[in-house]
Each structure stands twice: as C-alpha cells, then as structure tokens.
Structure 1
Amino acid sequence: MKPKVVITDSVSADLSIELAMLDGHADVIYGQGKAPEELQELLRDADAVLNCYTRLSEDMVNGMQKCKIIARSGIGVDTVPVGLATQKGIKVTNVPDYCIDEVADHTLALMLALRRGIDQGATQARQGLWNLKGLTPIHRNAGCKLGLIGFGNIAQAVAKRARTFKFEIIVYDPFLSADAARAHEVKQVALEELLSQADVLSLHVPLNEHTQHMIGDAALRQIKPGAIVINTARGGLIDTKALLKALDEGRIAGAALDVLEQEPPQDLQAISRTRNLMLTPHAAFYSVESEEELRTKSVAEIVRVLNGEEPKYWVNKKA
C-alpha cells in the first residue's frame, strides 16, 4: 500500500509538477477548498502533507496519526504549529532559498516607485493632469539611508541592489555578526536608531510572537518624518490600522505593502484609496521560474522523507 500525501492547497491550480514527482511514491489527495473538519479527517492518516496558504490548526496536527513530514511551500512556516509538530516527531520543511531575486527586485521597485512618485504621477496623467502638482516631494536617492530590519538572504539582495543607487545601508538584526556586517558593507544599528534615521524602512524578518506588530503605533511615532515603509515579508509585522493613521496624519510620506494582515482585506477598496499607499497582491515572490522552483523543492522534501532520507531544508531538526 502506497503512502498517502495530502496537498492542503497549492500556489498553482495545476498540480502537474507535484503529481509527476510523487508518481510511484504515494497516493495523492487534494484538499483545496475542504472545510476545516473535512481537511482534518483527510490529514488523520496522511503520511506526508504539502502545505501552502492553509493554516494548519493544532487540532489538525494533533489528529495526525502517522505523518512524517509537513512540507511548506514557502519561506515562512507561520501556517504550521511547528512546536506541536516537533513534539509529535513530525519533520517540518520550507524552501528558504527560492524567490530571493524576485522579492529583492519587487522591494526595490516599490521603493523607487514611491520615492519617484511614479504611482501618483501615472494616476494624475490618466486623469489628464500633466504637471507636478500633487506629487509627493521628490528627493534624490544618493545619500539617503535605507534601513533594513532583518538581514537574511532577501535583505542582502536588496542591499546589493540599493547600493547601485547610492543608498547608505543601515541594518537592525540581532543575529548579524560584526564580521558579516563588514563583509556586506552595512552599518549595524539599534532598532530605535534605525527607525529615527532611515529614509526608507524595509522589513525582512519572519512573523512570530516576537515580531507580530513590531511596526505599530509606538514604532511609527519614532520613524523619521518623511520616511517611507516597505513590507514584502509578512503582513502581521505591521499594525495596519496604526500605519493607515500615520499616513492620514502625514507622519510618514508613504508606504508600499505586498502583504497584509488579512489577505485579501475585507475593506480593500477603502484601504487602497489611502493617499501615498501602494498595494500589490502578495506578488513579490512570483515569477514563472520561482513558482516552478518552489513547487519542485517542496515536493522533493516529501520524496526524500518517504524514501527514508533526511530532508534538505529541515526547520525543526530535533524532531
């Protein structure tokens, strides 16, 4: 009898890659659109789970009787109760090295679009207004400070790109060594210093209990007046209500968000009308190539574990 793999959902409705890779290794059940109680029943006797956007509840994981691996199709693992999975001896994997170029490019594109007033200018032109009136004051990029919160693979790629535009790079990352900071030619600062000095603030940290709403009302009041905020990481890093208030009050010059606390938000139209706010629909990760890489690497982890091998990207290695 073949092992059972449950795909809770996927980044693509086309499962050709997943089915081809699992052919001969397992029977595949697709759980997209199932009610939570139905999905929980499917997961009960699963040998492996491929998970993308669906949040796996503790009840779902507790009910898993023989699961060996939960493979997350993504970088973050905030859809999985990792601690509980570890207790049950379930391996949790992710794909930490895909879409680095895509997210870095998207981050820089949002940054430049805001700083150059491109979104506002394009909107005005469509309205028949051919002048600079109404545009956010535009300043040159050379010499401006880009503040990166977190300095993992994506942030490093952003820094490399931003340096060509002559940004000065400052970084807050408590896990970054002084030697690594020197090697990447960035200046390490405390969070409070970064907030008060950065002309552009860009978030690049995982979402967890320590980073939830790390940019809330208190942090926004510390941010340098006239600065802009970019988030291509996780929506929950920013208190959306506090950010919208800061924009409405003119305490920050603009914000560009690819991720939100709730996706899609119930009040998308109202939020999108906020002045100096740019939104993209959680698209920073995407290219044809990155999607294929994500799907291939996440399924490969399941194949390895079902074959008795160790996974390559093992998040909770103590399991």
Structure 2
Amino acid sequence: MRVVVTDYNFEDLGIEREVFESIGAEVVGADAGTEAEVREAAEGADALLNQYAPVGPAAFDAAPDLRAVGRYGVGVDTVDLDAATERGVWVLNVPSYCEDEVSTHTLSLLLACERQVARFDSAIEDGDWDWKIGRPIFRQRGRTLGLAGFGKIPQRLARKASTLGLDVIAYDPYVDREELAEHDVEKVAFDGLLERSDAISVHTPLTDETRGLFDREAFAAMDEESVIVNTARGAVIDVEALADALEAGEIRGAGLDVLPEEPPDESPLVGREDVVLTPHVGWYSEESIVELRRTVAEDVARVLEGEAPENPVNDLGPE
C-alpha cells in the first residue's frame, strides 16, 4: 500500500511513517502546490494525506485505487468532497485537536488589538516612548464580544473572555437560543452582532453562505471603535473591504491569523499599524501538532485496514 502526503511543512514524516509501517504501508512525501502537481503525486496512491494543496477530480482520476484522503485540520475546503464521494473515497479530518490553542490565540489577537501592543512595540523600536500613540484604549470589563459561529472553539473563547468581564453575544443560525444560554451567551441576529459588538471574533466554516460574510455593508454597520478578529477561514472576510473600512475609520482595528491568500501577495492589510497579522499559527502547540498528525494518520490506516473511519466528513453509506 502507498500513502502519499501531498504537501506538508513539518520537519519530517516520522509520525506518519510510524503509523503506516505498522500496517505495511509505504509513506511518500510530495511537495505539491497545484492541482496538476497533486494529480502527479497521487498516481498509484491508496491514500492521501493533505495539508494545503488542492485535491480535485484529476487527483482522484489519477489514483483509481484511492480509498481515503485525510486532511490535516478541521476544515476540508482543500478537497473536492463531491468528487471524492462520487468515487467512493473517504474524506477524513481532525475535528477536535486545537480548541485550547485557537481560542487562546484568538484572545491574544483581541488583546493585542485592544491594547495596541504591536503599535507600541513598533513605536519604541523607532525611539518613540509615548503612551498616547495607542489612544483610544478601552477597559475590557463591560464591553461586548460578538462571536460569528458558536462551535467548540468559540465556546472555549467565551469562557476565557468572561474572565475578563466581557459580555458575550453570538450569531449562529444553527445553534438554538437555549444552548447558547447554557454558556451564558446571548443569541443575536447578524445585524445585532454588527451593531452591538465592540469586538467581533470570526469562527464560521468557509461555505457559500459565509464567503465574504464580512463585506463593505457589514463593516459600515459596525461601531467605529470596534475591532474584528479572524482565526477561522480567511475568505469569510472581504479583505479589500476591510482595508477600506480601516482607512475610512469605520472600524478601529483587526487581528487576523488567516487570509484568503496565504502567504499574502501585496495584501492591503500588510504593514498597517491598525492590523495585527500572524501566519495561520493559531492551531499550533507542540502537543497539538503531534495530536493532529497522529489522529488523521491513524484514521486513514483504519480505512486501509478495512475498518470504518472515526472522523469521516462525507457519507459513503454502509461499508
């Protein structure tokens, strides 16, 4: 059996090899970045492990014996689910591994924006020691944090934010009011989220419904002293609209761990004093990276051994 890792930025594939050698499977690492490169790498594969490269119909056609594609992460927008399902290929993810890391990173970005950490640091490097550079800065207790989406990560964030005295509201059409109330979170409509939040944290998946959810109209509806944080999917925010909103003073700042294009190429957000950027690192800790890799590799191994996967994304019906 042959397992191809389409792309990865780990130091090695030792964890994967340990898992697959136990079932007699060979692990081959590739450096694919395009659909054509993924197709070439996938030839003859029984399974794929995938990080960022696009896995489209051509890859499935190049590997007629393919049985599973395992995605390093929660989201699977790199994989064509319809093409996989049509060909009877399991798509697997890691739905739970970094809730602590992402919720903590989100809070870090929020506080960096609210307390103007990056701006003060940059000013001091330039020889400017002046607390007034960061004005205005507001006390967090009593302010309102709005959550767009209310899955496991924002649930943990809500608990952490409450220790700072933040009031938490959430927009999520798929979570009922009673469940939100169990977390001491008020359910609001999207308009209410925009109008009432002093800070908004984005936690939605990337779907047709959420792509560009935060657009020019959304930013215009937000308070001019509000900030937005995104540790979910970059394309949920229209970055051109965000840059224009910041330039026009419609909102005060942004903290982003994800962008539509990673790494960004001439993004209007890079270099702005009112934007804090991190390189899609919210998921990372030494513990989480091991958990991520081992979990998805072991699930792919289950499929190759004829067992049912634990974390399927698509439905292939009974085995």
TM-based fold match above 0.5:
yes
SS in 2 for 1:146: strand
Instruction: After TM superposition, give the deviation of residue 5 of structure 1 in Å.
Output: 0.9
Q: In the alignment, which residue of structure 2 is the partner of 1:311?
A: 309
The question of 1:296 aligning with 2:309 is answered: no
Q: In the alignment, which residue of structure 1 is the partner of 2:149?
A: 150
Amino acid across the alignment from 1:297? T
Instruction: State the distance in 2 between where 1:126 and 1:248 align.
Output: 24
Amino acid across the alignment from 2:5? I
Q: In the alignment, which residue of structure 1 is the partner of 2:177?
A: 178
SS in 1 for 2:132: coil
Instruction: After TM superposition, give the deviation of residue 178 of structure 1 in Å.
Output: 2.4
Instruction: State the distance in 1 between where 2:89 and 2:32 align.
Output: 24
Q: In the alignment, which residue of structure 2 is the partner of 1:16?
A: 14
Instruction: State the distance in 1 between where 2:118 and 2:134 align.
Output: 9
Equivalent residues of 1:248, 1:275 under 8 A apart: no
Q: In the alignment, which residue of structure 2 is the partner of 1:203?
A: 202
Equivalent residues of 2:33, 2:53 under 8 A apart: no
Q: In the alignment, which residue of structure 1 is the partner of 2:254?
A: 255
Instruction: State the distance in 2 between where 1:185 and 1:38 align.
Output: 48
Structure 2 stretches lacking a partner, 5+ long? none
Instruction: State the distance in 1 between where 2:142 and 2:132 align.
Output: 25
Identity level (%): 38
SS in 2 for 1:22: helix
Instruction: After TM superposition, give the deviation of residue 36 of structure 1 in Å.
Output: 4.4
Instruction: State the distance in 2 between where 1:263 and 1:275 align.
Output: 20
Instruction: State the distance in 1 between where 2:76 and 2:32 align.
Output: 20
Instruction: After TM superposition, give the deviation of residue 59 of structure 1 in Å.
Output: 2.0
Instruction: State the distance in 2 between where 1:34 and 1:184 align.
Output: 41
Q: CA distance change for structure 1 residues 145 and 309 in 2, over 3 Å: closer, same or farther? A: same
Equivalent residues of 1:171, 1:187 under 8 A apart: yes
RMSD: 1.5
Amino acid across the alignment from 1:204? H
State the Cα deviation string for residues 86-143 of structure 1 (Å, max 9, x = none): 1211111100111111110100011111111221112222222222232130010011
SS in 1 for 2:135: coil
Of the structure 1 ranges 188-197 and 49-58, higher mean CA displacement relative to structure 2 is found in 49-58
Instruction: State the distance in 1 between where 2:36 and 2:283 align.
Output: 30
Structure 1 stretches lacking a partner, 5+ long? none
Q: In the alignment, which residue of structure 1 is the partner of 2:275?
A: 277
Q: In the alignment, which residue of structure 2 is the partner of 1:124?
A: 123
Amino acid across the alignment from 2:11? A
Of the structure 1 ranges 195-204 and 273-282, higher mean CA displacement relative to structure 2 is found in 273-282
Equivalent residues of 2:114, 2:137 under 8 A apart: yes
Of the structure 1 ranges 6-15 and 99-108, higher mean CA displacement relative to structure 2 is found in 6-15
Instruction: After TM superposition, give the deviation of residue 281 of structure 1 in Å.
Output: 0.9
Instruction: State the distance in 2 between where 1:35 and 1:129 align.
Output: 45
SS in 1 for 2:288: helix
Instruction: After TM superposition, give the deviation of residue 33 of structure 1 in Å.
Output: 4.1
Q: In the alignment, which residue of structure 2 is the partner of 1:244?
A: 243
Instruction: State the distance in 2 between where 1:178 and 1:62 align.
Output: 45
SS in 1 for 2:73: coil
Instruction: State the distance in 2 between where 1:68 and 1:141 align.
Output: 50
Q: CA distance change for structure 1 residues 296 and 101 in 2, over 3 Å: closer, same or farther? A: same
Equivalent residues of 2:94, 2:292 under 8 A apart: yes
Instruction: After TM superposition, give the deviation of residue 42 of structure 1 in Å.
Output: 3.4
Q: CA distance change for structure 1 residues 178 and 38 in 2, over 3 Å: closer, same or farther? A: closer
Q: CA distance change for structure 1 residues 83 and 247 in 2, over 3 Å: closer, same or farther? A: same
Q: What is the count of residue pairs matched by the alignment?
A: 316
Amino acid across the alignment from 1:200? A
State the Cα deviation string for residues 173-220 of structure 1 (Å, max 9, x = none): 111122211211100000011011100000001112111111111111
SS in 1 for 2:155: helix
Q: In the alignment, which residue of structure 2 is the partner of 1:5?
A: 3
